[in-house]
Amino acid sequence: MRLWGKPKFWDHYDVASGPHKSLFNFRRVWLLAVVVMSVVSLLPLIFITVVNYRATKRGFESEIRLRTTRLVSNIRRSVAFFLEERRSAIEFISRLHGREELNNPARLAFILENLKKSFGGFVDLGVVDAQGNQSSYVGPYALQGKNYADQDWFQQVFQKGKYVSEVYLGYRRVPHLVIAVKHPDGNGDFYVLRATLDTERFNHMVTGAESTETGDAFLINHQGELQTPSRTFGTLLKKIPLPVPEYSSHTETFDFVTPDRTPLMIGYAYIQDSPFILLMVKDKNRLMKEWNWTRLELIGFLVFSVTVILLVILGTATYLVEQVYLADQRRVAMLHKVEYANKLASIGRLAAGVAHEINNPLAIINEKAGLIKDLFTYRSEYRADPRLIGLVDAILHSVERCAAITRRLLRFARHMEVSIQTVQLEEVVREVLGFVAKEAEYRSIEVRVEVEGEIPPFETDRGKLQQIFLNIINNAFAAVSDGGRLVITLKREKENTVSVSFADNGRGIPPEDLKRVFEPFFTTRAGQGGTGLGLSITYGLVQELGGTIQVRSTVGQGTCFTVSLPLKYEKRKREIDADTIGG
């Protein structure tokens, strides 16, 4: 089968197809096979791939969500712990030391020094009385005696007992946050121990925790203002362009698309006992980078599989339909051959019957006319008129012509037994050439015999073989002009067959005549003594010997008859033949 190009069945059009036309419409069969096979094999593949695609995508998303959640939780714990630790430390100090002791600046400085050393992150420390006056202060700024009574943080600590402030600039115009603890001093009064924390350390804790490049972690207050600097959203106290997430006691994530269409995954957590919300913003496109590769693999696999499957289906369908088509062609050819052989056989039978029936009255005419001639010859009284004897001769001549025709017809459908003997093929050919040697010489026709390979002696009917060869050679001689050429090639064709081909360089046979050359009475030499029986007789004889005869011809270049004969002769069952023909 050709791998590429249009298959043979594609342009097939069966003129003879009747009610079962669709059965023999090969293109439709092919299309049906391709469509059915494609649907059956591709549909499940595409379905499975889509399911797999979506499952994998969901898996990826949930994994990055989980990772974000975990990271946010970790940072939240650290931040919460950081604040809690420092708040506890201050509370501990307020419980341990009395008000008088804390109002002693030297003592307070000593405590701040120790806090700095033990915890780090402390900037200053102050004691504020119930009226909001800072009664004692140690730290880098001059805040002694400042009143905080009207400030929010003081109100809050007054109500709740403890307070962690948002990051704010305050009097010092430096970002800081405040941790304050209210402590009762026994006689119904209270004081507040207040510490300022280093936002530097605080910032570092939040931003430094997110070591990967994929995210941006920062704190905001409940108004959405930045409490630590953000890589994406800028500096401190700026309002971020994101919604402030709803309160939740757990770490949560949500998706958000920015106005410039960047999909974000945001993880957040409210930090307990503080005004802070921890936010971690990640660019989803960058997170899904790994997914993109997997997706490419999945789609690539699908495209590759579909291509391979389609190619295989196309190839298989084409091959199979081509085989069916070729088998069908062989069947049709065989049918035509059998029909043709049957036609020839029945014509032969008819011819034989006619010839035989005519032969008897012909014999009588022959004898009667012969007798009349005899009477003229032997009896003097009839000899007077020379015209009469001329007439009788004419009758006898016509009888002879009729007899020649019936004899040929009978030869065509002869019932003689085949007489089998061992023959040398080349010898038979040479023998037959002997019959025509004179004509060949006279017309200077070149006759060449070529033997290819070794041809063993084989059993066949010598007489019939001679007849076959003689007929073909006579035909060739009739076709070539004087000085022409005839090449006879003997060849061992297969294990069990030999072939003899007769190639002449005569005028050739037109294609429309080529189909009919073996039909009885078909002749192109009607006016020149051709009866149209020669080749049909030859055809019958070759069949009787169990062989085949083929003819190829090109007009103007010549004709080649090839007779193939079996090396093993098998007797043909004429009776069975007769039955099938119905004669």
Binder to other proteins among 172, 414, 462, 492 (CB under 8 A)?
414
Look at residue 533 and give its three-state secondary structure: coil
Tell the smallest beta-carbon distance from residue 463 to other proteins (Å).
Answer: 7
Q: Tell me if 3 sits within 8 A of 21, measured CB to CB.
A: no
Closer CB to other proteins, 414 or 485, in the complex: 414
Token pair of 516 as six digits: 């009919």
- The CA distance from 11 to 30, in Å, is 12
Comparing CB distances to other proteins, the nearer of 205 and 541 is: 541
Number of residues counted as binding other proteins (CB under 8 A): 32
Token output for 301: 């696999």
Q: Angle 283-285-288 (CA atoms, 0-180°, nearest 5)? A: 110
Residues 396, 366 contacting (CB under 8 angstroms) = yes
Instruction: Examine residue 463 and tell whether it contacts other proteins (CB under 8 A).
Output: yes
CA nearest neighbour of 411 among 419, 403, 423: 403
HSE of 510, CA atoms in CB hemisphere, 13 A:
4
Beta strands 252-257 and 215-220: pairing type? unpaired
Segment contacting other proteins by CB under 8 A, of 112-120, 235-243, 404-412, 508-516 = 404-412
Which residue, 194 or 373, is less far from other proteins as judged by CB? Answer: 373
Least gap, CB of 373 to other proteins (angstroms): 9
Q: Establish if 246 lies at the interface with other proteins (CB under 8 A).
A: no
Question: Cβ closer to other proteins: 23 or 364?
Answer: 364
Stretch of residues binding other proteins (CB under 8 A), selected from 19-27, 163-171, 406-414, 568-576: 406-414
CB of 434 to other proteins, least distance (A): 17
CB 472 within 8 A of CB 561: yes
Q: Which is nearer to other proteins, 45 or 470 (CB)?
A: 470
Computed from CA positions of residues 111, 115, 117, 122, in that sequence, does the dihedral angle turn out positive or negative? negative
Looking at beta carbons only, is 346 or 524 nearer to other proteins? 346
Under the binding rule (CB under 8 A), the answer on residue 410 touching other proteins is: yes
Among 49, 144, 346, 359, binds other proteins (CB under 8 A): 359
**Contact map string, positions 276 to 305, toward other proteins, x by CB under 8 A:** ------------------------------
Smallest gap, in angstroms, from Cβ of residue 579 to other proteins?
21
How far apart, in whole angstroms, are the C-alpha atoms of residue 18 and residue 251?
A: 78
Nearer to other proteins, 490 or 537 (CB): 537
DSSP conformation letters of 284-325:
HHHHTHHHHHHHHHHHHHHHHHHHHHHHHHHHHHHHHHHHHH
Q: Which of residues 361-390 bind other proteins (CB under 8 A)?
A: 362-368, 370-371, 374, 377-378
Give yes or no for residue 462 binding other proteins (CB under 8 A): no
The Cα–Cα gap between 440 and 446 comes to 7
Stretch near other proteins under the rule CB under 8 A, chosen from 145-153, 216-224, 348-356, 523-531: 348-356
Looking at the DSSP bridge assignments, the partners of residue 147 are: 133
- Closest C-alpha among 271, 199, 269 to residue 229: 199
Please report, as ranges, the residues that interact with other proteins according to CB under 8 A.
352, 355-356, 359-360, 362-368, 370-371, 374, 377-378, 399, 403, 406-411, 414-417, 419, 463, 467
